[in-house]
Chains A and B, each alone.
Chain A
Amino acid sequence: MTSANSWYEAGARQRVAAMLDPGSFAEFIGPEQREISPHLAIFDLPEQFDDGIIVGHGTLEGRRILVAAQEGRFMGGAFGEVHGAKLTGLLRAARSLGEPVLILFDTGGVRLQEANAGELAIAEIMRALVEARMAGVQVLGLIGGRAGCYGGGSLIAGCCSALIVSEQGRISVSGPEVIETNKGVEEFDSRDRALVWRTMGGKHRYLIGGADAFADDDVLAFREAALIVLAGNGRLDADVLEAEQQRLEHRLHRFGEAHDAIDIWTDIGVSEPTEIPGLATDEFLRRITDKREKANGAR
């Protein structure tokens, strides 16, 4: 299932190293500056020198690019004050520099121990991201890590100009456990992993137009996909949002009665939809050619 170069298994630093041209990465506020969270000590929790996110610049096939990568193993990749501010600063820089950004998401959402600061960080990131895109900057999200892309992270992803996902790339506002805790196991059984994957996983998101490219769980596959997507345009303007409004209204109209992802995949016209979760990438892509809903830049 996982390759030697698994994106899912890799840490944030390994992903950045594999994504960029060898030796080209330079970090901003690196771990040696020890800009740790000022709030974890209140809870007697261990700190990490980079607060769980790496930001910096490098080149991708010679082209200058800004990059942020979350470490999903540290506090579930959650957004705290410092963690969030590093991404905000990167996106503000992207706007003035006019350079594209890769965000390697791996997050459970807002860090509860600094929930107010984390929530506000999400809002600041979204604003900086949207302002960068309005200035014509592309911001790509790459999702396939162990923490997925949940909570406020999923809203940031929803502001990106394009998303690249692998099967493991779960995108959802409320996580399975959150829905179950609040609404009961009848609403969502968080232990039913197959249900989690087909409701929030990368294949479903790709099929309904929630993502623009589908990659194998492999760091080089993500790199290839990023190169292809970067050739497009990421500008955000009124026309794009009008198109997105129509796209999402169409989705609710077409699939609003569906109970399960299988119902949606059947409606789309995928043959043998129950086989989708088990298909390897090549066969999955072959099976859904010309069937999936596409965003076509309307995001």
Chain B
Amino acid sequence: MEKLSFTMKPSTPATGTRARAIVGVVASGNLEVLLERNLPANICIIDIATAAPGFAAVWEAVIEDFVTRRPAGGLHISINDGGARPDMVSLRLAQGVRLIEELEA
């Protein structure tokens, strides 16, 4: 397993009030994303454990894109990756941000 960690400065803080959210599953070509709202609103930390080593640059690009386009400030995001493609990673991150924005049911 390769471990990566990125500390980002997103342009927008996450909305909503949920403390946390989880989406996805650890399987081949898939990943789980756990989002926890416990950081200052101008920071987003993303910790990754991936079964596919050697793709740090790709992760960085996907995450740059994510924090630019989505309101991710204040989130600590933890990822367990089963070897997902970048488009799947982007999808799960977007789903996670959407879920943590939702009102508590």
Residues in chain A within 8 A of chain B (CB atoms): 11, 13, 22-23, 31-32, 34, 41, 44-49, 71, 73-74
Q: Is the CB of B80 within 8 A of A46?
A: yes
Given A31-B34, A73-B25, 11 more A-B residue pairs with CB atoms under 8 Å apart are A31-B22, A32-B20, A44-B51, A46-B26, A46-B49, A46-B51, A46-B81, A46-B82, A48-B26, A49-B34, A74-B26
CB-defined interface of B66-93 with A at 8 Å, one 1/0 digit per residue? 0000000000001011100000000000
B: interface residue count bin: 10 to 19
A23 and B103 CA atoms in complex are apart in Å by 10
Q: Is the CB of B51 within 8 A of A11?
A: no
Is the CB of B30 closer than 8 A to any CB of chain A? yes
Task: Tell me, rounded to whole Å, the shortest Cβ–Cβ distance linking A21 to chain B.
Answer: 10
Q: Is the CB of A74 within 8 A of B25?
A: yes
| Centre residue among A23, A32, A47 by max chain B CB count within 10 A | A32
A34 and B105 CA atoms in complex are apart in Å by 23
A71 and B32 CA atoms in complex are apart in Å by 12
Chain A residues near B49: list those with CB within 8 A: 46-47
Is the CB of B39 closer than 8 A to any CB of chain A? no
Q: Is the CB of B81 within 8 A of A13?
A: no
Q: Is the CB of B27 within 8 A of A74?
A: yes
Chain B minimum-CB-distance residue to A54: B22
A-B contact pairs, 25 of them (CB 8 A): A11-B25, A13-B22, A22-B105, A23-B104, A23-B105, A31-B22, A31-B32, A32-B34, A44-B51, A45-B1, A45-B51, A46-B1, A46-B26, A46-B49, A47-B49, A47-B80, A48-B25, A48-B26, A48-B32, A49-B22, A49-B32, A49-B34, A73-B25, A73-B27, A74-B26
Is the CB of B101 closer than 8 A to any CB of chain A? no
A13 and B23 CA atoms in complex are apart in Å by 9
Task: Tell me, rounded to whole Å, the shortest Cβ–Cβ distance linking A50 to chain B.
Answer: 8
Chain A minimum-CB-distance residue to B53: A44
Q: Is the CB of B105 within 8 A of A71?
A: no
A34 and B76 CA atoms in complex are apart in Å by 14
Chain B residues near A22: list those with CB within 8 A: 105
Chain B residues near A23: list those with CB within 8 A: 104-105
A22 and B5 CA atoms in complex are apart in Å by 35
Chain A residues near B22: list those with CB within 8 A: 13, 31, 49
